[in-house]
Structure 1
Amino acid sequence: MKFVNSFATFVLFIIFLMGCAVGPNYQKPEYDLPETYENNFGSNDSLVNLQWWTIFEDTVLYQLINYALENNQSALIAAQRVEEARNVLGFTRADIYPQLDIQGNYNYRNQFIPGVGETSDDNLHVFQATLPFSWEIDFWGKFRRANEAARAELVSSEFGYRAVMISLISEVATTYFTLLDYRKRLEIANDTWESRKESVRIIQDRFDEGYVPEIDLNQAQIQEAIALAAIPSFERFVRTTENALNLLLGRYSEPIPANSTLYEQNIPDSIPVGFPAQLITRRPDVLQAEYALVAQNARIGVAQGQRFPAISLTGLIGVSGAGTSFTTGDMIWSVGGSLLGPVFNFGKNLRRVDIERARFQQSFLSYELAVLTAVNEVENALIGIETYQDEFEAANYRVRAARNANTLSQSRYDGGVTSYLEVLESDRSKFDAELFASQTLRAYLVSYVDIYKALGGGWLNEEEAQGVVEAANEE
């Protein structure tokens, strides 16, 4: 009994000392971020948790995004990565606690009588059933550091999942606007072909009457063929873009409904840009990189803990017996401890720590790069909105001028004032201007997609980010 009390006292002493943990404690990196964005022309309000894609007021886009969020394979894979990280945390956490197993064996054999050279008529039942107990005491904190790393990886995977969702939403919106652009350009090509086909018919009649030279007819036919060739080209772009959009939706190809046109999309009035300091607290990819850094910092402690001896407690309790019946068994028990540690391994354990420190520096630089990339993407997106707005206004001005010039040139040609070359040039300018305006509007709309993606997508605010961390701590 005295031994048991001493052993219990020793165990309590060890548990008391388990409050320490080797390895560095995580220190959040501090950055001297700019107070405002250099190209900030939006409001400084913080981006709240909103479904920003609804600002375009397109029900088809809204439905496509919701469908993609539920069925896209990349999003589903990211969700499974979260489940994997959650299970890894549970698996790692089990190392902190004692292990209790069950073990048993049984033999039925004859009994040899020494000195007689014969066996007894009574055979023996030899059996043993025990509950082995083992516990490697986390004296140096390596298991707690491993648990810390696994918990950080879980948080990182949660933010990684949200980053995938934001990227998916942006890709769906961008591809959808591209589809509307190609449909608009296909419509322009069809209208242009119909117009040029009618011009060829009129000039053919005039040529047959001897009013115009054959060169005018040939030039009109060339322009008709150019417009006609553009139609299958844009049809191809429409169909391949539909296929790309269906792939994002996680389904086989099928037609995408068209309830609105490119020019019917709503353009937002203002953008809640906020400040750069807010960016690193709401961009999921930045938060993902930060918690990957937290996990790697904890792994340094795991590696340092492996340099020290492992202290383990072992024991068992059970029954054991050997006799002609099962009633002859007796209770057995044992308790003990062990210490196993490295003495000389040519610096292997020290190098293990150096490896984790080098990986920590890599993670730190990745986090730093994520912050720089986030700010840079916001700056570029703001530039895109400002310049594409000006470019689209200029493109519309060009379209209005080209249409008017085309009408005037046709009137001048019909009145015999100018040659058909002027009509051809004005018609070609009108066709190019209309195609360019559609392309520019698509880029202008996509620039709004880019800014919301760069700002964190409106998918995560600071309170929700903290909620992700707290949920992981409760696992």
Structure 2
Amino acid sequence: MIKPLKLSVAITAILTISACSLMPDYQRPEPNIAIANQSVESSTDVAELGWKDFYLDPKLDQLISIALANNQDLRVSSLTVEQLREQFRIQKAAKLPTVNAEGSVTRQRTPESLTGTGRSGITDTYSVGLGVSAWELDFFGRIDSLSESALQQFLASKSSRDSMQLTLIAQVADAWFSWLASDAQHQLSSETREARAESYQLIEKRFKSGLASELDVRQAETALHEARVLEAQYQQQANQNFTNLQLLVGQSLDKDEWKKDWYQIKTLRDIPANLTSDVLLKRPDVMQAEYNIKSANADIGAARAAFFPRISLTTSLGFGGTSFGQLGEASSRQWSIAPQFTLPLLDWGVNQANLNVAELQKDINIAQYQQVIQEAFKEVRDEMEARYTLDAQLQAQNDLTASTKRSLELAQYRFNAGIDSYLDVLDAQRSSINSELNQIDTRLLRLRNQLTLYKALGGGLYEETPSPSPQQK
């Protein structure tokens, strides 16, 4: 009696092993732009360069750590990844039979008219065993395709979470630099306001002594009010930048604890300007787009399998008897096998429509993949080209600042000597303060260029740079 069950198990194993897949062969789409290999020899892959090895300031490293721990968007994304991981496990488990322990006790009264003996009777029936209910034999790869689709969706969600982390780290660094830059500009405008207040008081005294005209007094007064307006503007900008930093970090911060002299900030680690297709393909957003293509590709396999018969198997094996003591006896063994198949005959085009939807979704994902690569290429290319022009711009701005400071010294000397009017001093002051403010802005642009290029090349996924494997050494 046990032989039919062994035979069914063997047949099931053969069908499972020999199950075919109707998924199309996957081939990565070629980028629709020409990416020239412009590589600089480097032992470190930027995508694997830890953010603590790139952002060299301990205060900034600490802020990034706090943001990664507190950011709710990142937490939601991480929980979504775990949710999709479990959904993949559920879908993967569908390929295997679910075995249940089964047991029942039935007590039944049979009336006299049915017993044949002229007397009613009560019958007890006991049974125990193991059962498999409606296990689908994945002969055409439908379940396998759905499992592959769930796996790719999980991987896509993980890449989405990684991309969000890269963006958050770059935003925190940018917000900290922006706050320190605007705070430095506020301090500079405050010093300018104090200097112009002293100049106004001095010129007013000279006017009262007959050594200066009223025009000089009014010009000095106008310059003082301009400095007050500028000071208030940069104070507001600094406050807004600090609020933005607190929002990204996810908690209140003490300004004095996180403030640092703008000119004492450590420069960011320079990174090689590698631009190859491999670099772009390692970006999390590009990887996410490719996983979406693979998921749609697997959905096509599941949609194709829907045109073929769906075969399922229900089996049970155990013992039964009219008394509990009979359970376990060889004579009380019982089993059943119930294979079933379903073949779609008339579905009014539903299966074909589902297949068309899956194929169109793949085409959509391919187009989105190409678009993501285009955006990645542009982002990297723009930052690579900007890094050289910003270096030249910063050097020129430094020279201009030194020149305007010297011009201010000479104008002040000539005014004190009575050679020039105070208007020449004001012009020199405006040139000097504007040059210093622009110098801070230009350095901020250079820092933003470095951190944006680091993010664009996929940097920021690791806290510390992974140690190279023995094969890589």
Aligned twin of 2:86: 87
Q: Following the alignment from structure 2 to structure 1, what is the Cα–Cα distance between the partners of residues 399 and 149?
A: 58
Aligned twin of 1:339: 341
Q: Following the alignment from structure 1 to structure 2, what is the Cα–Cα distance between the partners of residues 258 and 327?
A: 79
Distance 1:411 1:152, change over 3 A: same
- For residues 1-150 of structure 1, the aligned pairs below 5 Å read 1=1, 3-4=4-5, 7-8=8-9, 10-18=11-19, 20-31=20-31, 33-37=34-38, 43-45=40-42, 47-48=44-45, 49-52=48-51, 54-55=53-54, 57-102=56-101, 112-114=111-113, 125=124, 131-134=130-133, 135-150=135-150
Alpha-carbon offset, residue 449 of structure 1? 0.6
SS in 1 for 2:315: strand
Aligned twin of 1:162: 162
Aligned twin of 2:191: 191
Counterpart code for 1:353: L
Q: Is the 8 A contact 1:262 1:442 kept in 2?
A: no
Aligned twin of 1:313: 313
Aligned twin of 2:412: 410
Q: Following the alignment from structure 1 to structure 2, what is the Cα–Cα distance between the partners of residues 374 and 256?
A: 38
Q: Is the 8 A contact 1:33 1:277 kept in 2?
A: no
Q: Following the alignment from structure 1 to structure 2, what is the Cα–Cα distance between the partners of residues 459 and 149?
A: 25
Aligned twin of 1:392: 394
Counterpart code for 1:17: S
Q: Is the 8 A contact 1:46 1:274 kept in 2?
A: no
Q: Is the 8 A contact 2:179 2:241 kept in 1?
A: yes
Q: Are positions 1:429 and 2:431 aligned together?
A: yes
Q: Is the 8 A contact 1:52 1:457 kept in 2?
A: yes
Counterpart code for 2:61: Y
Q: Following the alignment from structure 1 to structure 2, what is the Cα–Cα distance between the partners of residues 177 and 60?
A: 11
Aligned twin of 1:446: 448
Counterpart code for 1:395: Q
SS in 2 for 1:434: helix
Q: Are positions 1:181 and 2:178 aligned together?
A: no
Aligned twin of 1:278: 278
Aligned twin of 1:201: 201
Deviates more, 1:284-293 or 1:349-358: 284-293
SS in 2 for 1:337: strand
Distance 1:9 1:445, change over 3 A: closer
SS in 1 for 2:344: coil
Q: Following the alignment from structure 1 to structure 2, what is the Cα–Cα distance between the partners of residues 259 and 220?
A: 33
Q: Is the 8 A contact 1:149 1:294 kept in 2?
A: yes
Counterpart code for 1:443: L
Aligned twin of 1:470: none
Q: Is the 8 A contact 1:47 1:458 kept in 2?
A: no
* CA offsets 1:242-292 (integer angstroms, 9 cap, x no match): 221122222245436346322223445853122412313432222222222
TM-score normalised over the length of structure 2: 0.86
Q: Is the 8 A contact 2:5 2:335 kept in 1?
A: no
Counterpart code for 1:71: N
Alpha-carbon offset, residue 360 of structure 1? 0.6
Aligned twin of 1:473: none
Distance 1:56 1:299, change over 3 A: closer
Q: Following the alignment from structure 2 to structure 1, what is the Cα–Cα distance between the partners of residues 188 and 336?
A: 89
Q: Is the 8 A contact 1:44 1:275 kept in 2?
A: no
Alpha-carbon offset, residue 5 of structure 1? 6.1
Q: Following the alignment from structure 1 to structure 2, what is the Cα–Cα distance between the partners of residues 337 and 382?
A: 64
Q: Which runs of 5+ in 2 are unaligned?
A: none
- For residues 169-318 of structure 1, the aligned pairs below 5 Å read 169-255=169-255, 257-258=257-258, 260-267=260-267, 270-318=270-318
Distance 1:429 1:444, change over 3 A: same
Alpha-carbon offset, residue 23 of structure 1? 2.1
Between the two proteins, what is the percent identity of the paired residues?
27
Distance 1:362 1:126, change over 3 A: same
Q: Is the 8 A contact 2:270 2:450 kept in 1?
A: no
Alpha-carbon offset, residue 217 of structure 1? 1.8
RMSD over aligned Cα atoms? 3.0
Deviates more, 1:378-387 or 1:211-220: 211-220
Q: Following the alignment from structure 1 to structure 2, what is the Cα–Cα distance between the partners of residues 447 and 92?
A: 44
* CA offsets 1:275-329 (integer angstroms, 9 cap, x no match): 412313432222222222212211111111122111011122345667xx75678
SS in 1 for 2:257: coil
* CA offsets 1:190-215 (integer angstroms, 9 cap, x no match): 11011001011111212222332323
Distance 1:126 1:268, change over 3 A: closer
Distance 1:287 1:8, change over 3 A: closer
Alpha-carbon offset, residue 359 of structure 1? 0.7
Task: Work out the number of aligned pairs and report it.
Answer: 454
Q: Following the alignment from structure 2 to structure 1, what is the Cα–Cα distance between the partners of residues 378 and 347?
A: 47
Counterpart code for 1:95: A
Alpha-carbon offset, residue 57 of structure 1? 3.3
SS in 1 for 2:317: strand
Q: Following the alignment from structure 1 to structure 2, what is the Cα–Cα distance between the partners of residues 149 and 380?
A: 35
Q: Following the alignment from structure 2 to structure 1, what is the Cα–Cα distance between the partners of residues 202 and 17?
A: 100
Q: Following the alignment from structure 2 to structure 1, what is the Cα–Cα distance between the partners of residues 128 and 349?
A: 43
Q: Is the 8 A contact 2:64 2:173 kept in 1?
A: yes
SS in 2 for 1:257: helix
Q: Which runs of 5+ in 1 are unaligned?
A: 468-475
* CA offsets 1:384-435 (integer angstroms, 9 cap, x no match): 2112222222222222222222222222222222222222222122221111
Alpha-carbon offset, residue 220 of structure 1? 1.4
TM-score normalised over the length of structure 1: 0.86
